[in-house]
Structure 1
Amino acid sequence: MLYSQKRPADKRADFRAALASGELQRFPGAFNPLSARLIEQKGFDGVYISGAVLSADLGLPDIGLTTLTEVATRAKQIARMTDLPAIVDADTGFGEAMNVARTVQEMEDAGLAGLHIEDQVNPKRCGHLDGKQVVDENTALQRVRAAVDARRDPNFLIMARTDIRAVDGLAAAVDRAKKLVDAGADAIFPEAMASLDEFAAIRAAVDVPLLANMTEFGKSELFTVQQLADVGMNLVIWPVSLLRLAMGAASRGLDELENAGRLTGLLDQMQHRADLYDLIDYEGYGRFDDSVFTFTVER
C-alpha cells in the first residue's frame, strides 16, 4: 500500500550487488510512477528515469530546459513507487561543479539509487542528435569529482556519461572513459555507440560497470540483451520506449474516437480496470480501511 517499504539505502546496496553479479541488469524507462510499478510487476531489474521523458512529459524538448527541482520531484515520485532501484538522468548536473554537488544530494534525498552526469556543454541536447558539443576534459572531470565528493551514501552510484564519441570519435571516447573512472566515476555510460565492437572497446578500456542505451530511432543499433551481455555490458536501458508505446496507443485511440465516435473497437487493447486495480493494490487499501474497497470488478 502507498509506497515501497524498501529503504533507499537497501535499494542502493542491492543495486551495487546486482551490478557486481555478472548478470546484465535490465532497466526500462518509466514515464510515470504507475509504469514503474508495472516494470517491477513484469520482473525487470530496475527503473530508468529519462531526462528526455521528463522533458516530453512537460511538453518540452530535451535541450536542458527542465530544472533540478522538476527532475528531482518527478524522480522521487517514480522511485518511491517500486522496490526496484531507480537511476535518473541528471543531464549536465544543472550547472557546473557546485550545482552538480547539490544535484547529487537532492537525488539521494529523493530516494534514487544513482544518477548519471554527462560531459555535454550546458545546456545539453539529446544524445542521439547531431551537432552536440562536449566540454573540455578538465570540466568533465570536475563534474565527476564534485558528484563523488558530494554524495553521503557510498552506495549511491555516480555514473559518468560521455557524448564525445559523436564529436571526436571512438578513440576519444575510450580516452575520456578512462579519465572519468580515474576521477572517481563508479560506472560509465558511453553514449551513441555505433556497433557492438565499439561497446567492446569501452569494455576493454575500463574495469567498471558499463551502460548501453538502446533508444529507438537513434545512432545505435537495437541490440538484444544477449548481444550486450556477450560484450560485457552490465546495464541496459530502454529510456523512452514505454512513453513511445503509450503515446502511439493514445494517438490511435484518439483517431478511433474521431472516426468511429466510440472506443468499443479498441477495448481489447486497453488495460482492464481489474488489472489497473491489481497494479495499484486497491485491495491492500481495502484491508487498511474497509470503507475504501467495497465493490468487486467483473471481467
Structure 2
Amino acid sequence: MASPTSSIAAAGLLISILASLLIASSAGNFHQDFDIVWGYNKAKVLNYGQMLTLNLDKESGSGFQSKNEYLFGKIDMQIKLVPGNSAGTVTAYYLSSKGANWDEIDFEFLGNVTGEPYILHTNVFCQGKGNREQQFYLWFDPTEDFHTYSILWNPERIVFYVDDIPIREFENMESYGIPFPKHQPMRIYSTLWNADDWATRGGLVKTDWSQAPFTASYTNFNDDNACVWTYGQYSSCDSNNDNGSWYWEKLGFAGTGKIKWVQKNYMIYNYCTDYKRFPYGLPKECNIKKDLF
C-alpha cells in the first residue's frame, strides 16, 4: 500500500501535469495551427504540439506556414535562435500575402560568429514594394532562452515588439499617398536558411557547415487577438466592432518613448537616414514622420 507521503506526492505531480496542460492549451498548437512546407525531414513538432524546431544543414533548410490567413491582429511567437557560430544563417519570421503586389511584415534574424551579436532585420512591404529596412542589435542573447517577438497590425499602424517592448512603428499614411497593407490577408511564415552570400558582414563570413545542423526553436504561439480570414471574409472577428484594445491600439507617450530608447541605443541601420542609398530623396514617409524614424 502506498504511504500517505507518496500519495500526496503523486497527487501533487498530477496537479502539476494538469496545470501545465492548461497553460499549454492557452497557447497555439503547432500540429493544429501550422503546416511544414519545406525541408519536411528537418522540421519537427515536439511536446504534443507545444514546440516546433527548424533545422538547416548543407542539404537544405526548413520552414512552416500557418493554416490560417489573417487580416489584422496582434500575433506573438516565442523563438530561441540558432546558438553558437550561426554566421551565414537567417531565421525569418514574417507575415506575407501572395501575388506580384504582395504585402509583408518581416522579422529576420541574421546569424553571426560565436560571441558576436545577432542582427534583427525588419522590413515592411506594401503592394510588392519594400526597401523599408531597419536593423537592431538586441539587448540580450537571443540564443540562450526563448523571447517573444510580436507583430501588431491594425488599420492604423504596424508595430514590432520584442518582449513587449516596441522597437518600430509604421503608421498608415495613405492620406499622403503612401500604401499601407490593409486589404490582403496574410499567413504567418518562418524559415531557417543559408544566406552566406549576404547575411553576415555582407557575405564576407561564410557558413561553417561543421557546426550543422543549425536549429531554431519555437513555442507559445498566440493568435487570440487576430482576425482569421476565411473564404473571403472575417470568421473570428468583425472589423466593424471594437475587437479588443489591439484593433485601435496606439503607442501613446510611454510606447513612443520606448521606441526612441531602443532606436537610440540599439538601432544600427535606418533606411530613413541612408542618403547614399536614396541620393534623389528619401522615401516620402521618412519626411512625414521624422520623429518615428
Category of TM-score, reference length = shorter chain:
under 0.3
**TM-score normalised over the length of structure 1:** 0.22
The structure where strand makes up a greater share of residues is 2
Query: Could you tell me the TM-score, scaled by structure 2's length?
Result: 0.23
Greater share of helix residues, 1 or 2? 1
